[in-house]
Amino acid sequence: MEDATHEITRLLQALNDGRREAMDRLLPLIYGQLRAMAHQQRLRWQGEETLNTTALVHEAYLRLADGTQLDVESRKHFLRIAAQAMRYILLDHAKAKTRKKRGGDQQRVALEEEFLDVSEDEADELLALDEALTRLKQLNERQGDVVECRFFAGLTIDQTAEVLNLSTATVKRDWNWARAWLLREIKHNA
């Protein structure tokens, strides 16, 4: 375990140094964690059509490996970045779903996109949540980060505390407050 942790740290430093090949060696070491995060999303947004865990992980990997310089501080920070990537993938597909609902479905569809479909109701809910979360992050970025880790990455209270370098009491307090605030915002703007 310690050897894997050391290797992850070394590969993250290589990424920071601009060596893109490090991403290919990093993926097998963190694939299980990314897959667990994606699986949480699949369970959360499963409608009549299944959100494919593997497709979500691979899409997140492609976004992370797109050639832009990553400034990653640690394994925890990398997982936060991956959680945000998964959030944006889900949002992109939700936006595409609402475009289709409004007649804008005349676009090229990737082969794996069929696995990332969500129902129209789920797409609307996800977009409303994203808008509210964006407003929350403007008011309190830390609470927005807690929501991303808990909701979009499916991390536990303890895991979120570790990733964000917060106490579990702070995460619990932020999570409870943020959920109530988001619910009120979503209902108010519905």
Tracing tokens 């807690």 back to the chain, one arrives at: 146
DSSP 116: G
Token pair of 155 as six digits: 């991390």
Tens digits of per-residue pLDDT, 5-37? 788 888 888 888 878 788 888 888 888 888 888
Burial class (CB in 10 A: 0-12, 13-18, 19+), 80: buried
**Dihedral over alpha carbons 48, 63, 85, 110 (to 10 degrees):** -20
Cα–Cα distance, 131 to 149 (Å, whole number): 17
**Which tens digits make up the pLDDT trace of 98-157?**
665 555 544 443 433 333 445 666 777 878 888 888 999 999 999 999 988 888 777 889
* Backbone phi, psi, residue 124, to 5°: -65, -40
Give the closest residue to 86 by CA, choosing from 172, 13, 152, 161. Answer: 152
Amino acid at position 46, single letter: Q
With helix as H, strand as E and coil as C, how does 60-81 read? HHHHHCCCCCCCCCCHHHHHHH
Query: Residue 61: which pLDDT band, with cuts at 50, 70 and 90?
Result: confident
Give the separation between CA 166 and CA 21, rounded to whole angstroms. Answer: 32
| 6: helix, strand or coil | helix
User: What angle do helix axes 75-101 and 157-164 make, rounded to 10 degrees?
Assistant: 110
* Alpha carbon distance 57, 21 (integer Å): 18
* pTM as predicted: 0.55
Q: Among residues of the chain, what percentage have pLDDT more than 90? A: 15
Residues in CB range of 134: below 8 A, 6 or more apart: none
Residue 77 is predicted with a pLDDT of: 83
pLDDT (0 to 100) of residue 42: 67
Q: Mean pLDDT, to the nearest integer, of 39-68?
A: 70
Could you give the CA distance from residue 164 to residue 71 in angstroms, rounded to a whole number? 16
